[in-house]
Amino acid sequence: MKIRIFGTRGKIEPKAEDHVNHTGFLLDDRILIDIGEPEYMKYRPEAVVFTHFHPDHAFFVPEKQKFTPKIPLFGPEAHELIPELKVINGEFRIGEYSFTPIPVIHALKLKSLGYIIQKGQKKIFITGDVAWIEKANLAEIPKLDLVITEASFINKGGRINRKKDRIFGHTGVPNLIRLLSPHTQKIAFCHYGEWFFENAPEKSKAKIKSLEDDVQLIPAHDGMELEI
């Protein structure tokens, strides 16, 4: 499976060379996961799968444009701008790819899903934005060839907001490493937050690499291609 990471910038103002675009992943030039920039449609994906409907994952949300390409569209909940959206309610397939949705805690008012995507023997997990993933939701998952997650905050704990008994926001990179390391040998990071742009990108990537232990950590850049 070939995974192209189109964008590595979170929903923030600062940007840097090779870290300009918002989220989008293209699998084998065929399936798009999230569409943070309209240009991603140029690759003529066969289907689009959304992790959640924040604007940096669904570019058409702020302008209230309808999103109506004539291809299958999948997402965690109905959306007024996507009349043809198929709401995910369990495992589903797109051609030879099987998608297993994993509930992710992230936003107060939006549902979020990560996806384990399997093609043949190869399995990846794209988490989307993460405040937390209940360990029970990861307990049964098979060993993954690659996990792609976010890096909004480099500090332990990230930035978590609380309302009554609910949490939302983004956890920290160290927490994600601990949470995801039991399931894979490789974790790629994108969706960088402000911290990343306070120094030269090379320095910030080195900071991620400095957290590496048994599991390989891959700080991504816009347009990076990974093959598993």
- First and final CA of the chain: distance in angstroms? 5
Nearer to Zn ion, 56 or 222 (CB): 56
- Nearest approach, Cβ of residue 122 and Zn ion (Å): 26
Residue 56 binds Zn ion (CB under 5 A): yes
Residue 34 binds Zn ion (CB under 5 A): no
Residue 19 binds Zn ion (CB under 5 A): no
- Nearest approach, Cβ of residue 143 and Zn ion (Å): 27
Query: Segment contacting Zn ion (CB under 5 A): 65-73, 127-135, 177-185, 209-217?
Result: 127-135
Query: Segment contacting Zn ion (CB under 5 A): 41-49, 94-102, 121-129, 132-140?
Result: 121-129
Specify the amino acid at residue 188: A
Calculate the alpha carbon distances from 29 to 111, 119, 151 in Å: 27, 14, 25
Largest CA distance in the chain: 45
Nearer to Zn ion, 4 or 106 (CB): 106
Among 97, 129, 176, 217, binds Zn ion (CB under 5 A): 129
Rounded-to-10 torsion of CA 193, 195, 199, 202: -60
Phi, psi of 116 (to 5 degrees): -90, 125
Cα separation, 120 vs 14, in Å, equals 39
Nearer to Zn ion, 215 or 224 (CB): 224
Cα separation, 114 vs 51, in Å, equals 6
- Nearest approach, Cβ of residue 10 and Zn ion (Å): 5
SS3 58: strand
Nearer to Zn ion, 87 or 108 (CB): 108
- Nearest approach, Cβ of residue 51 and Zn ion (Å): 8
Question: DSSP letter string over 116-133?
Answer: EEEETTEEEEE--S-SB-
Query: Segment contacting Zn ion (CB under 5 A): 49-57, 134-142, 178-186, 218-226?
Result: 49-57
Taking residue 68's Cβ as centre, other Cβ atoms within 10 Å add up to 12
Taking residue 228's Cβ as centre, other Cβ atoms within 10 Å add up to 13
Query: Segment contacting Zn ion (CB under 5 A): 13-21, 27-35, 123-131, 196-204?
Result: 123-131
Among 4, 9, 19, 54, binds Zn ion (CB under 5 A): 54
DSSP code, position 47: E
Residues that bind Zn ion (CB under 5 A): 11, 54, 56, 129
